Amino acid sequence: MRSLSIIAASLAALAGCQSLQSSDNLLGIITPYKVEVVQGNVVTQEQAAAIKPGMSRNQVRDILGSPLLTDVFHADRWDYVFTIRRQGAEPQRRSIIAHFDGDVLKSIDTGGELPTEREFVASIDTFKTSRDAPPLALTDEERSALPVPDKPPAQAQAPSAPRRTYPPLEPR
């Protein structure tokens, strides 16, 4: 009887551990923190449009940044890989490949449509309430409704301080 109760208690404890591991939150109240992982260079439509065949490696590096992968066995190929995992946003992965002929860019493969800078920022924005913020500029009607500020009183000119002379730093 005693061994049966020990086995039952062990099975109950194991079942409880399994249910905690499989759930993402505890009772719907506590959610675990997930680390934001960003690797590589973000390459947008605007950056890719600035890259033209015939550019040098330095010019490509100035626009896209240093490649994430350069292979000794494929010296004429640069791989720009970008991944991001952010809580509250869809994970993203992109791969851009630049092919060179010596020091000159031969072609660039974007792997499909790249997002614009604005689209990329919107895709990782997890604070959606900020979009309802009021505009920061006044309309002409609002500007004309503002009270006219009083003119500040004329300030008396402050007396000038005596001119200071300093000894030379080096002997003559």
- CATH code of 56's domain: 3.30.1450
- The identity of residue 48, as a single letter, is A
Degrees to nearest 5, angle at CA 167 with 166 and 170:
130
Is 154 within the bounds of a domain? no
Residue 65 domain-assigned (yes or no): yes
Asked which of 98-107, 128-137, 140-149 is least confident by mean pLDDT, the reply is 128-137
Most confident stretch, 5-19, 84-98, 148-162: 84-98
Does the residue 31 lie in any domain?
Answer: no
- State the pLDDT at residue 125: 79
Q: What is the pTM of this model?
A: 0.55
Residue 167 covered by a domain: no
Task: Report the run of H or E that residue 13 belongs to, with start and end.
Answer: helix 2-22
56 found inside a domain: yes
- Structural domain including 99 reads 38-125
Per the domain annotation, does 104 fall within a domain? yes
User: How far is Cα 104 from Cα 58, in angstroms, rounded to an integer?
Assistant: 10
Of 131 and 125, the structure prediction assigns the larger pLDDT to 125
Distance from C-alpha of 81 to C-alpha of 50, rounded to nearest angstrom: 18
Average pLDDT, the chain: 80
Please check whether residue 133 lies inside any domain of the structure.
no
157 assigned to some structural domain: no
| DSSP code of residue 126 | -
Tens digit of each residue's pLDDT (9 = 90 or more) over 7-30: 877 766 666 554 444 445 555 677
CA dihedral sign of residues 139, 144, 147, 149: positive
Reported as a single tens digit per residue, the pLDDT across 100-126 is 999 999 999 998 899 988 888 888 877
Domains of the chain: total: 1
